Amino acid sequence: MRNTPKHLAIAGATGAVGIEILKCLEQRDFPVSELTLLASARSAGKTMTFRGKEVVVKELRPDSFAGVDIALFSAGGAISKAFAPYAVAAGAVVVDNSSAFRMDEGVPLVVPEINPEDAKKHSGIIANPNCTTIITLMALNPMHEAFGGVHSLIASSYQAVSGSGAQGILELETQVTAIAKGETIPERSVYSRQIAFNVIPQVDVFTENGYTKEELKMLFEGRKILHAPELKASVTCVRVPVYRSHAVSVTAVFNDKPSVEAARAAINAAPGVHVIDAPFAEFPEYPTPLDSTDGDDCLVGRIREDLVLDNALTFWVVGDQVRKGAALNAVQIAELL
C-alpha cells in the first residue's frame, strides 16, 4: 500500500553515503517503521541519530535482514556481492550503490527522473548508477527526449576528492596545510600524484583500450539507462582539488537539430535539474560545484551550439555526487518501491 511504513536497513551506515542516506530519509519524511543500521564489526556498537533518536549500529551479518523490506547498500562492491543475496533471500529489495550489479542483464539500473518504470522489473536488486553518469544524464536526458535521441557524446569530468571517500578529503587537506606552512608534503596514500593545486587525469584503473573503468561506465551505463544501445561516448575523468560535487563538460550530438533555447526550456521543464545560464549578464551566471553542494538538483549552464559537430550542443553540468550521485538517488528508488 502506498506510503505504508517500511522496515529499512542501511548497509554501510557509517560511511559518507550511509550518513547522507540518513539525512535524505529524514529530510524527505520517508515512511520508516523500523531502521536497522549495519556496518563492519569495528563500527558495531556506535550510535547514529535518526529523527531525534539514537540507533545502535549492528555488525553486518548474513542474518541481518530478517523482516527488512528495503535494504540500501553503500559499503562497496565486494560487500554487496557477498551480502545482497542474503537480503534478497530474506525478502528484502536491495538498492545497491556499488558497481557490483549495474551491468547485470536482470538488474535494473535506475535514475528515477529518467527511467522509473525500469524499477518495476527488478528481481530483488536495483542498481544505483555511477555518480558521474547520474549527474551527466540528468542534464542530457531532457535534450535526448527533445531532439530525437542522443547519438554520441564527448565528455570530461572534474571529480571532487570526496569521490574517494573521507581519505581523499584528508589527503587534500593535509597537502594544502603542509604547502601553506612550507612543510614537506606527507607521503601519498590515495592518489598517484599530489592532488593539492593539481589535477589528475585518472579516476579508477586503466583498461586495455586506454580508457579507465570510470570513463567506460558513462558509456555502458548511459546505454542501459537511456535505452540507447547504439550510443557512442568518449569520456575523460579527472580528479580535481575540490571537496564535494562533480562537474562535467559535455558535447552531445543529437539525431535532430537542437537549439539552445529549446534545450534550456527542456531542462527547466524536467524534474531535479535546472538551468543557470546567463553569459551576457553584468556578472555572467553559470553553476559551479559549490552551487550544487548539499543540494538535490543538478545545475546546467554554458549551453551553446558546438562549432565542430553538426546537430550538437556543448554544456556544463554540476551535481553533488554524494547526494544526487549516490544517497538521494538510492532513497528516490526506495520511494518508487
Write out the residue limits of the CATH 3.30.360.10 domain(s) in the chain: 133-321
The CATH H-level superfamily of 6-128+326-336 is NAD(P)-binding Rossmann-like Domain (3.40.50.720)
For the question of residue 246 being annotated catalytic, the response is yes
- Asked if residue 51 has pLDDT above 70, the reply is yes
What DSSP designation does 161 have?
Answer: G
What DSSP designation does 218 have?
Answer: H
Helix (H) or strand (E) holding 93: strand 93-96
Pairing of strands 150-159, 232-239: parallel
Q: Is 142 helix (H, G, I), strand (E, B) or coil?
A: helix
Tens digits of residue pLDDT in 272-323:
999 999 999 999 999 999 999 999 999 999 999 999 999 999 999 999 999 9
pLDDT of the residue at 3: 75
Contact 294/27 with Cβ under 8 angstroms? no
Per cent of the chain over pLDDT 70 is 99
What DSSP designation does 206 have?
Answer: B
Amino acid at 169: I
* pLDDT tier for residue 252 given thresholds of 50, 70 and 90: very high
In whole angstroms, what is the distance from residue 110 CA to residue 106 CA? 13
Contact 275/267 with Cβ under 8 angstroms? yes
* pLDDT tier for residue 1 given thresholds of 50, 70 and 90: very low
Choose, from 24, 122, 131, 144, the residue flagged as catalytic: 131
Among 1-5, 50-54, 121-125, 316-320, the least confident range: 1-5
- Can you tell me the mean pLDDT for 24-45? 96
- Report residue 56 as a C-alpha cell: 545502535
pLDDT of the residue at 165: 87
Q: Could you please report the per-residue DSSP string of 233-260?
A: EEEEEEE-S-SS-EEEEEEEEESS---H
Choose, from 151, 237, 246, 298, the residue flagged as catalytic: 246
* pLDDT tier for residue 166 given thresholds of 50, 70 and 90: confident
Give me the chain's average pLDDT, please.
96
Tens digits of residue pLDDT in 192-230:
999 999 999 999 999 999 999 999 999 999 999 999 999
In whole angstroms, what is the distance from residue 315 CA to residue 257 CA? 16
In whole angstroms, what is the distance from residue 289 CA to residue 285 CA? 13
Q: Which CATH class is domain 133-321?
A: alpha beta
pLDDT of the residue at 2: 60
Tens digits of residue pLDDT in 108-165:
999 999 999 999 999 999 999 999 999 999 999 999 999 999 999 999 999 999 999 8
Write out the residue limits of the CATH 3.40.50.720 domain(s) in the chain: 6-128+326-336
